[in-house]
Structure 1
Amino acid sequence: MSSQVHQAKQAFGARLREIRKDASLTGRALAAATGLHVSKVSRIEHAGQNPSEEDIRRWCQACKADDQIPELIATLRGIEGMWLEWKRQLRGGLKRMQETFDRHHERASVVRSYESIVVPGILQTAAYCEAVLRIAADFYGTDGDIAAAVEARMNRQRFLYQSDRRFLFVVEAWALRTIFGGVDVMLGQLDRLLAVATLPRVSFGVIPPGRIRQMWPGEGFFLFDDDLAVIETTSAEIKVTQPQEIRLFADAFRRLQGEAVFGAEARGLITGTMDDLAVSEVLNGTADSPNSP
Structure 2
Amino acid sequence: MTASPSSAAQAAREHLAVRLRDIRRDAGLTGEELARRCGWSPSKRSRIENARTPPSDADVRDWCAACGAADQAPDLVAANRQADQMYVHWKKLHRHGMRRAQDEVLPLYARTRRFRIYCSNVVPGILQTQAYATALLSTIARFQGTPDDAPEAAASRIERSDVLHQGDHRFAFLLEEAVLRYRIGPAETMASQLGYLLAVMALPNVSLGIIPTDAERQMWPLEAFYLFDDRQVSSELLTAAVNVTAPSEVAAYAKAFGEMSKGAVYGPRARALISGAINTLG
Q: Which residue of 1 aligns with 2:10?
A: 9
Q: What amino acid maps onto 2:222 in structure 1?
A: G
Q: Which residue of 2 aligns with 1:91?
A: 95
Q: Which residue of 2 aligns with 1:35?
A: 26
Judge which range, 78-87 or 233-242, deviates more. Answer: 78-87
Q: In 2 relative to 1, CA 277–161 (structure 1 residues): closer, same or farther, beyond 3 Å?
A: same
Q: Which residue of 2 aligns with 1:116?
A: 120
SS at match of 1:277: coil
* Alignment partner of 1:217 is 2:218: no
Q: In 2, Cα distance between the equivalents of 1:106 and 1:147?
A: 22
Q: How many residues align?
A: 245
Q: Displacement, 1:150?
A: 1.4
Q: What pairs with 1:226-265 in structure 2 (closer than 5 Å)?
A: 226-265=230-269
Is contact 2:9-2:84 (8 Å) kept? no
Q: In 2 relative to 1, CA 7–96 (structure 1 residues): closer, same or farther, beyond 3 Å?
A: closer
Is contact 1:10-1:45 (8 Å) kept? no
Is contact 1:108-1:225 (8 Å) kept? yes
Q: What pairs with 1:13-162 in structure 2 (closer than 5 Å)?
A: 35=26, 78-162=82-166
Q: Displacement, 1:12?
A: 8.9
Q: Displacement, 1:106?
A: 1.3
TM-score by length of 2: 0.75
SS at match of 2:281: helix
Q: Which residue of 2 aligns with 1:284?
A: none
Q: Which runs of 5+ in 2 are unaligned?
A: 32-46, 61-77
Is contact 1:5-1:79 (8 Å) kept? no
SS at match of 1:205: strand
Q: Displacement, 1:254?
A: 1.0
Q: Deviations over 1:95-123 (max 9, x none)?
A: 11111122220120111110001000111
TM-score by length of 1: 0.72
SS at match of 2:214: coil
Q: In 1, Cα distance between the equivalents of 2:252 and 2:232?
A: 12
Q: Displacement, 1:9?
A: 3.3
Q: In 2 relative to 1, CA 178–192 (structure 1 residues): closer, same or farther, beyond 3 Å?
A: same
Q: In 2, Cα distance between the equivalents of 1:124 and 1:240?
A: 24
Is contact 2:9-2:86 (8 Å) kept? no
Q: In 2, Cα distance between the equivalents of 1:10 and 1:147?
A: 38
